[in-house]
Chains A and B, each alone.
Chain A
Amino acid sequence: DTGVSQNPRHKITKRGQNVTFRCDPISEHNRLYWYRQTLGQGPEFLTYFQNEAQLEKSRLLSDRFSAERPKGSFSTLEIQRTEQGDSAMYLCASSPRTGVMDTQYFGPGTRLTVL
């Protein structure tokens, strides 16, 4: 069990550029989640996948954001035309298929800075 991994760990970009983050969940975890955390706040839910199906999306996920999990394994989160307000830590979590009550295991996050 190597844990949830995220790449890159840090990303600095200029306003208007597109960025893509990758999340590799714990192997055999079928559920994957994306959260966003800004300074001094708790994580806020963005979206959730069960296998390759995206089943929940937050209102925070504007049309500039898109997430995929094409083969039910790793996931990508893309932000198009980045804005300074997108600067945050983007967290990925995964959980096993253990029924209704399961534990989400978090990765170290990708810190995005938009200049």
Chain B
Amino acid sequence: GNSVTQMEGPVTLSEEAFLTINCTYTATGYPSLFWYVQYPGEGLQLLLKATKADDKGSNKGFEATYRKETTSFHLEKGSVQVSDSAVYFCALRHSGAGSYQLTFGKGTKLSVIP
């Protein structure tokens, strides 16, 4: 079945540090890949997505590239801010026709300190 594995947290970084959160997946076919973010006290929000191999999703300074050869979708940001403190979830959507469910990783909590 489909599964997503992401690096365990919590991750604590100083402001302006470089961020990488690793995400690998197991799936048949060609899933679509997502990063969702959950800020404290708020609901899940889509951060970025990629639908096919070598696509790069980007938003708010965050980037992730769909790597089919390594089945990975690592999240990166060059310079984090305190406001980036949140829980980040990697997810995939199965490529089968009529299937719309998302499979999520366990989440990685990021804390950015001034």
How extensive is the interface on chain A, given as a class? 20 to 34
Within 8 A of B (CB), among A55-114: 55-56, 58, 91, 93, 95, 101-109
Q: Is A4 an interface residue (CB 8 A)?
A: yes
Is B106 a contact partner of A33 (Cβ separation < 8 A)? no
Cβ contact of A56, chosen from B89, B99, B104, cutoff 8 A: B99
Check A44/B104 contact, CB under 8 A, given A4-B43, A91-B44, A104-B46: yes
Contact in complex: A109, B43 (CB < 8 Å): yes
Complex interface residues of chain B between 23 and 56 (CB less than 8 A to chain A): 32, 36, 42-46, 49, 51
A93 to B104, CA, bound (A): 14
| Chain A residues positioned under 8 Å from B98 (CB to CB) | 55-56
**Main SS at interface, chain B:** strand
Number of A-B contacts (CB under 8 A): 54
- Distance between Cα atoms of A95 and B32 in the complex (Å): 15
Q: Which of the four size classes fits the interface of chain B?
A: 20 to 34
Residue of chain A at shortest CB distance from B107: A42
Q: Which of A42, A95, A107 contacts B43 (CB 8 A)?
A: A107
Name the distance in Å between A58's Cβ and chain B's nearest Cβ.
7
Interface string of B81-114 (1 = CB under 8 A from A): 0000000010100000011111111110000000
- What are some 8 contacts across the A-B interface (CB < 8 A)? A33-B101, A41-B107, A42-B106, A48-B100, A104-B46, A104-B102, A108-B42, A108-B43
Please name the 8 residue pairs, one residue from A and one from B, whose CB atoms are nearest each other, closest first: A42-B104, A45-B101, A106-B44, A108-B43, A106-B43, A43-B104, A42-B106, A42-B89
Residues of A whose CB lies within 8 Å of any CB of B are 4, 31, 33, 35, 40-45, 48, 55-56, 58, 91, 93, 95, 101-109
